[in-house]
Amino acid sequence: MKKVKISKKIICAILSIMLVLSMIGCQSTPTDTTDSANTAETNMFKAGNYTATATGHNGDIKVEVIVDDTSITKVEILEHNESPSISDPAIERIPQSIVADQTLAVDTISGATVTSEAIIAAVTEALKQADGDIDALSVKKAREKTTSETAEYTTDVVVIGGGGAGLAAAVSAHQNGAEVIVAEKMPQVGGNTLISGSAYNAVDPGRQEKQGIEDSIDKHFKQTYEGGDKEGNTDLIRALVEGAYPAIEWLESMGMEFKDEVFTVLGGLWPRAHKPVEPLGTGYINTYENYINENDGIEVLVDTEVTELIVNNDKVVGIKAQGLNGEVIINANNGVVIAAGGFGSNVEMRDEYNQTWPALTNIKTTNHTGATGDGIILAEQVNASLVGLEDIQLLPMGDPETGSLSGNIEQGVENRIFVNKDGNRFVDEGERRDVMTKALMEQEDAFMWIVLDKHSYPTGDTKNNFNESIDELIEQGRAYKGDTLEELAEKIGVNPENLVKAVEKFNEAVENNESDEFGRTLFDQKIDTAPFYAGGRVPTVHHTMGGIEINTDAQVLDKDGNIIPGLYAAGEVTGGIHGANRLGGNALADIAVFGRIAGESAAAGK
């Protein structure tokens, strides 16, 4: 750069001119008008406290925004009904980011996008009340780049993924004497387990016999094997069904509580599903987190996306990842467990492997946004065998707007029916999930109504399996209520004669305790007691049965059938257990059973 020299004479002249101008300025009047104009130009807000609301995932989110003349000084969430843990990062980070950056153009939180956007919308409304310039506040501000750092750790066992399978593996490895680090790419742990319906299949004579239910390990094995079109690995299925109840006892030993009665979950084929006391999948995740918080030796790193498995002398000995502040390297003395979930949220992978369904590009999913098949891709890079990737499960139970399981009004298989837009039944509602979904896809707009009555909701504050009361769902327009079937039919726009006839036929089958016209055999109570309720549902991608091939010790196999030393896998990232179709309620059993096995195997360095 060229330097310019300034002489002393020029400097003196400039100073003299400035002095004269300042004297003129001091003599000018009136001064108050100028000061008032300057103040007006610098004031960005009308100082004060402002409140506003916006609709989140589960209802309104109410915020308070405090501003002074020039800045946003505080954003606080006053009220919300968002799901615990899932929304926590958004509730915490979005207000902090708005204040720190003095802008509404902040990044939403992965996995909590709807909550994030609702908070931003509510804050926007509050700032409008404060006379803020919303256009100016909506401009994204460039952050100063932080120096990239490499953080390196050494531990005994590394677990990739902090969902139900990953946390089960971490706890199990620790209980077997290992120090553990969990690497989770999302801002929070929980994965699909956290937002699940929570049903867990296990043969449980203690609970089932009290309800007059006959069951056996062999029956669970047979239904799982045949329900997957006999494509599942029989050794893995046997490990699943035999380990399911001991894994419940393991969870209970750490403080988790299940309700006393079992039920039949959608596509479960038999009443052996256990329901936790805590809503959704929070009971599982809270149980693992409580153990982790109460014991030294397990560290959980969130916002840490694994990019590579480290291999030395043909053994997996660690991982490389990308954190918020740079690269993360974690060396593993004993082994690495991949528990990163399936690929239900990866549209490209779904389309690549789908061989059963029509194009899935426009089909929504129940999965959280992090279920993108990362673990499968990592395993493939070290020559792992992948099996059953074409086996993708859809449910007929998606929210029409989001595809999620939330808003589903059914409480169990036995006491509800499905009707199409004409008010007619069209399938055995106790069938396999793929059978029900294929039948739904043949109906107008691939849309159905779940219909049930007071038996499922004795009071308006009775909650569904997703911690939503029926009154809340009605208020939100996600469910409908009628004192008669005819009134309900009018509200949902179906033919009342057809709906009444559908319910009557169902009630006849219940009364006679015999198979109905669709071959349905799972009944309990008639749909005959007002009020009657209905909720709309559509097909949605739910589970990917294929993935990494493992043995009964959760060791990963290569494409030649050999064990890859130091590498283990558990949960939806694996393949070969469920075959072409997974029974409802088997996923949470799977992640607990094989997560526990993977942790034990990795701790031992098998």
Q: Report the DSSP pairing between strands 448-452 and 532-544.
A: antiparallel
Cα 115 to chain centroid, rounded: 13
What are the distances in angstroms from CA 106 to CA 102, 137, 143, 337?
9, 10, 11, 34
Q: Which residue has the tokens 């769902």?
A: 473
What lies within 8 Å, CB to CB, of 403 at 6+ separation is 363, 364, 365, 366, 538, 540, 541
3-state secondary structure of 22: helix
Q: In terms of DSSP H, where are the helices of 102-139? A: 113-129, 134-137
Q: CA 112, CA 368: separation in Å to the nearest integer?
A: 9
3-state secondary structure of 118: helix
Q: CA 516, CA 498: separation in Å to the nearest integer?
A: 17
Torsion angle, alpha carbons of 12, 15, 19, 20, to 10: 70
What are the distances in angstroms from CA 293 to CA 11, 174, 186, 242, 287?
67, 12, 19, 30, 10
Q: In terms of DSSP H, where are the helices of 446-540? A: 470-475, 485-492, 496-512
**Burial degree of 379 (CB within 10 A; 0-12, 13-18, 19+):** buried
CB atoms within 10 A of CB 250: 19
Render the burial of 506-542: b for 16+ CB within 10 Å, e for the rest.
bbebbeeeeebebebebbeebbbeebbbbbbbbbbbb
Cα 532 to chain centroid, rounded: 30
Cα 216 to chain centroid, rounded: 32
Our CA angle for 440, 444, 445, nearest 5°, is 85
What lies within 8 Å, CB to CB, of 305 at 6+ separation is 183, 185, 321, 322, 323, 374
Q: Is 433 tagged catalytic? A: yes
Bond preceding residue 531 cis, omega within 30 of 0: yes
Q: CA 553, CA 566: separation in Å to the nearest integer?
A: 12
- Among 304, 291, 368, which residue's Cα sits nearest to residue 87? 368
Query: Residues 433, 537, 582, 596: which is the catalytic one?
Result: 433
Q: CA 188, CA 160: separation in Å to the nearest integer?
A: 13
Q: CA 245, CA 255: separation in Å to the nearest integer?
A: 15
Q: Which residues are catalytic?
A: 433
